[in-house]
Structure 1
Amino acid sequence: MSRPVKPVGLGFGLLGTTNAAPITDDSAEKMFAAAWEMGIRRFDTAPLYGGRLSEERLGRLLRGRSRDDYVLSTKVGRYRGYAATVVNPMNNPGDWHDYSRDATFRSVEESLKLLGTDHLDIVFVHDCDAHLSEALTGALPALTELKAQGVVGAIGCGSNVAATHLALLQKIELDVLMVAGRFTLLDQSAADLLFPFCLERGVRVELAAPFNSGILATGPDVEATRFDYQPPDAALRARVRAIQAICQTESVPLKRAALHYSASHPAVTRLVLGLVHREALRSNLEDLSSPVPDRLWPALEPLGIPDPTESIKR
């Protein structure tokens, strides 16, 4: 298999309790083994995912692997009860936020224990959209201290809101962002202000959720598909149908177009995909390794989708 156009990481949210079918330990082991076999060494989790169930299970999967062989991240600030039932992944009843200094230190300590490591390559402040002040005065200074001690390698923000990333970058230096779903065929809200700022400041961007949690992989006509974790309405399905039609005219599968679109912006240094079975992962990597014609992006512009490579051309 040839190399994807951008490096790829895996998010382990589905190892926690979610509103999707649970992944058994046996399936998780097979998925992880396949990812490792395919050369993926970048792994992300968070206390939110299953109330640390994801961290606990990922720690078991990593056991016996050399710590120098992979890049590991987790998050602080947003929490959920252990193995809690999930009704709404975006705003589940019982979730809480705590960006205080003490909570951040405690959270990192617990993550280290569950993940079976003495250091974390990256720690993101998680979904602090409505808590910017607390993150700036509590969690981020605490993470800066841990970075100085060598416990944390890099610090950043993980959020679905482009404005949150930009607001933090205007106040504090960050190493890396995990921008979820905000530069895709359906949402380019990171493009106008955030990405140029990142390029100017040398801030790395990991783009998560390039399928907007499903619909750009499955297409619009799968009843159970999701957009940002919710059922898409008829207008959104119609928009994806229009995008898909143009992709088909250019002989490009929708899923391949979605992956290449998110990967093609020069600010994006890595794509972070969700945990899937071997053949689905192989399919994603093959899509990322297969070229798309240069004419695809201009063909999509009449739908209001900007060329992701435009800043490269300038």
Structure 2
Amino acid sequence: MNEVRVGRTDLFAPRIGLGTAALGNFQRAISDADAIAVVEHALERGLRYLDTAPLYGHGLAEQRVGRAVAAAARDELVISTKVGRLLRPDAPRDETQYHDGVPFYVDVPPVGPVWDFSYDGVRRSVEESLQRTGLERFDVLLMHDPDDHLSEAATTGYAALRDLREAGLVRAIGAGMNHSAPLAELVRSCDLDVVLLAGRYTLLDQSAMADLLPACEEREVSVVIGGVFNSGVLVDPAPGASFDYIPARDEVVAKALAIQDVCRKYDVPLAAAALQFPLAHPRVSTVLIGARTVAELDDDLALLDVEIPPALWADLRNAGLIHAG
């Protein structure tokens, strides 16, 4: 649970954090009590970085995080949430949040996300997140999935976050996405402290090495990594495994199986290699664990104790299974 500096700020964040999409009923509903128990157990185990968002459970995850940390020492925590989507009862259906007609978030409140990266919209989003969590402040604010809204995110959205940072109301600002190229654009055009990248710097997919990671090196921007298991295929690469939240293509499963074969040669669980892999990059400050149960959280933390010999990584490079860099 060592801490590292976030960008060039005075904020230090733990190397391991808890992502809370699963605690917002992502693909499966869980109770308030079970979700809160996961956060409380994470705090007991020493995790002090919690990442959430209005989108996660359409407010559920933020509410549950707020209740779980109510009795915790706030100054010991690093809490991040996101902006760019306001929750409204009359929201139009967002097809990006469905697969084959099934919503990613189930049993959620009767509100939906509405895109808004305007200056006032971002400020309003922060205020509403504070109300849902019951917190007085956030440590990190991230623009959430602005893929199709880059112009607004880089101007009015960024301006709102910049002003909040300058006023001392937040300590670090950035953006979080599932794609590295648009994140790299924002890093180059805005004065960001941190980015959250899901799924594009993993044992299976290092595409961020082509654009985002070099940009973050140049601008001294920290990188938080989510989705280290690529939705499950790097835990159990069996037919039908998920990749990017949907069934994985055959070639994706085949590559994961090939990586698993190398791991087995060294008696290393595939999931352990997947969880530890991103931590080696000098710009990666934190890796998020997305556990939905207390047992799953303990299992994930145990993977950090697995010793991985350097020869395993060398074999993966030599076989062309990870980036040569």
Q: Secondary structure at the match of 1:22?
A: coil
Specify whether residues 103 and 174 from structure 1 end up closer, same or farther in structure 2 by C-alpha distance, changes over 3 A only: same
Shift of 1:166: 0.7
| 1:86–1:229 CA distance, 2 compared to 1 (3 A) | farther
Structure 2 residue identity aligned to 1:25: D
Does structure 1 residue 277 correspond to structure 2 residue 293? yes
Q: 1:233: how far off?
A: 2.1
Which residue identity lines up with residue 303 of structure 1 in the other structure? G
- CA deviation vs aligned residue, 1:31-68 (integer Å, no higher than 9, x gap): 12221111001001111112212111211111121211
Is residue 54–residue 82 contact of structure 2 (8 Å, CA) maintained in 1? yes
Other-structure match for 1:69: 76
Aligned-partner Cα distance in 1 for 2:315–2:33: 44
* In 2: Cα distance, 1:4 partner to 1:167 partner: 27
1:135 pairs with one of 153, 157, 169 = 153
Gaps of 5+ in 1: none
The separation in 2 between residues aligned to 1:235 and 1:90, in whole angstroms, is: 24
Q: 2: distance between equivalents of 1:35 and 1:86? A: 32
Q: Could you tell me which residue of structure 1 aligns to residue 205 of structure 2?
A: 187
Supply the distance in 2 between the matched residues of 1:146 and 1:86 (Cα, whole angstroms): 29
1:1-314 mapped onto 2 (5 Å cutoff): 7-18=15-26, 20-79=27-86, 89=97, 95-217=113-235, 219-221=236-238, 223=240, 225-301=241-317, 302-307=319-324, 310=325
Q: Note if contact 2:36-2:67 (Cα within 8 Å) is conserved in structure 1.
A: no
Distance 1:222-1:22 versus aligned 2 partners, 3 A rule = farther
8 Å Cα contact 2:37/2:68 also seen in 1: no
Aligned-partner SS, 1:300: helix
1:130 aligns to what SS in structure 2? Answer: helix
Structure 2 runs not aligned, ≥5 long:
5-13, 105-111
Query: Hey, what's the Cα distance between the residues in 2 that align with 1:90 and 1:192?
Result: 29
Q: Distance in 2 between matches of 1:191 and 1:182?
A: 9
Alignment partners' CA distance in 2, 1:291 and 1:180 = 25
Cα 1:137–1:201, aligned 2, differ >3 Å: closer, same or farther? closer
Compared with structure 1, are the counterparts of its residues 175 and 257 closer, same or farther at alpha carbon in structure 2 (3 Å cutoff)?
Answer: same
Q: Secondary structure at the match of 2:146?
A: coil
Identity %: 40
Deviation larger for 21-30 or 96-105:
21-30
Structure 1 vs Structure 2 CA RMSD? 2.5
Distance in 2 between the 1:222 and 1:35 partners?
A: 32
Say if 2:94 and 2:113, in contact at 8 Å, map to a contact too. no
Give the superposition deviation at 1:234. Answer: 2.0
The answer as to whether partners of 1:118 and 1:151 remain within 8 angstroms in 2 is no
The change in CA–CA distance for 1:190 and 1:87 in structure 2 (over 3 A counts) is: same
The 1:254–1:25 alpha-carbon spacing in structure 2 relative to 1, beyond 3 Å, is same
Question: 2:35, 2:117 → 1: CA distance?
Answer: 31
Q: What is the count of residue pairs matched by the alignment?
A: 303
Q: 1:245 to 1:89 in 2, by over 3 A?
A: farther
CA positional deviation for 1:159? 0.4
